[in-house]
Amino acid sequence: MSRYFTKDHEWIEVSGDAATVGITEYAQSQLGDITFVELPEAGASVGKGDSCSVVDSVKAASDVYAPVSGSVTEGNAALEDQPELVNSDAEGAGWLWRMTLSDTGELAELMDEDAYKAYIAEL
């Protein structure tokens, strides 16, 4: 599996044409305590850069954008009762949605982990 990152602080882990999407540790640390997560519907078609989800925290509501184009296969149902999973394990159990990619070529426009770490070090 390969993991990529966006400048909007989303991560996407890809295996073939299937992927899991969430927000980064950095993003959750900036948001503070997560109180609610609005997830995309299974079957929804999303374009790269589309707002797909909203994460509400004690500080703000923040849109989460699709890192690539594709079709949503499922949202993380555990977040309905435990939105704080995003705080405790943003890049693991706190994933937001899974999707099937429609254009794997879009991944080339994303950052790898080293590039993302360099990016947030400059913020």
Classify residue 69: in a domain, yes or no: yes
Number of compact structural domains in the chain: 1
Among candidates 54, 60, 68, which has minimal Cα distance to 23?
Answer: 54
Digit-by-digit pLDDT tens for the chain (123 residues) are 899 999 999 999 999 999 999 999 999 999 999 999 999 999 999 999 999 999 999 999 999 999 999 999 999 999 999 999 999 999 999 999 999 999 999 999 999 999 999 999 999
First to last CA, the chain: 28
Question: What mean pLDDT is reported for the chain?
Answer: 97
- Which residue range is the domain that position 55 belongs to? 2-100
How far apart, in whole angstroms, are the C-alpha atoms of residue 76 and residue 53? 11
Residue at token pair 């989460």: 64
pLDDT at 1: 85
- CATH code, domain carrying 46: 2.40.50.100
Residues 6+ apart with CB under 8 A from 97: 20, 21, 39, 40, 52, 53, 72, 73, 74, 75, 76
Classify residue 110: in a domain, yes or no: no
Give pTM, 2 decimals. Answer: 0.96
How far apart, in whole angstroms, are the C-alpha atoms of residue 10 and residue 5? 6
